[in-house]
Structure 1
Amino acid sequence: METVPVFGRVDRVVSEKLELLAKATQRSRSFLIGEAIKAYVDEQAWQIETIEKGIELVNQGKCASDEKVRKMFAIFGYGLP
């Protein structure tokens, strides 16, 4: 995997916590920052992809009717207005 430099600023408290975490885990700050950014980007990308798929399904008319949703909620003991 090729890496590229990325620069940014963080709150001093976050930086201090990062330093403590790096020492405790015997990992570099750079490694931990990379892992944190990767986790954030992966999660956000997944959410956007899931939302876009949902919108596509709605646009295709592939969604449950109000009545079907009410029946499913009722099965689990939840009444909808």
Structure 2
Amino acid sequence: MTHSAVVSGRIAAETAVKLDKLAERLDRSRAWIVARAVEQFVEEEAEFLASLDEAERQIDRGEFFTQEQMEAWFEARHRGEAAE
């Protein structure tokens, strides 16, 4: 059995109209669509924050390029492609 929690929130009236149209087209309830949207948002935000945490750990370990190094790499690559 899946456990669930009730969450309440406000959305713009225009968004509610779009939500109802989507629910009708998908033959799903408002609640089903909102639950999927929240799940997706939470998952994506958690992944994004985890990637930021990893980036900070990489910086702490010195695993990064400076702006100048990246510009030099880009220029070298650009010159190489222009020569072809």
Cα root mean square deviation, aligned: 1.9
Larger radius of gyration: 2
Q: After TM superposition, give the deviation of residue 53 of structure 1 in Å.
A: 0.5
Aligned length: 78
SS at match of 2:57: helix
- The structure where helix makes up a greater share of residues is 2
Q: Which letter does structure 2 place at the counterpart of 1:56? A: R
Structure 2 unaligned blocks of 5 or more: 80-84
Please say if 1:4 is aligned against 2:16: no
Pair 75,3 (structure 1): closer, same or farther in 2 beyond 3 Å: farther
TM-score of the superposition, structure 2-length normalised?
Answer: 0.79
Structure 1 unaligned blocks of 5 or more: none
1:20-59 map, 5 Å: 20-59=21-60
* Identity value in percent: 22
TM-score of the superposition, structure 1-length normalised?
Answer: 0.82
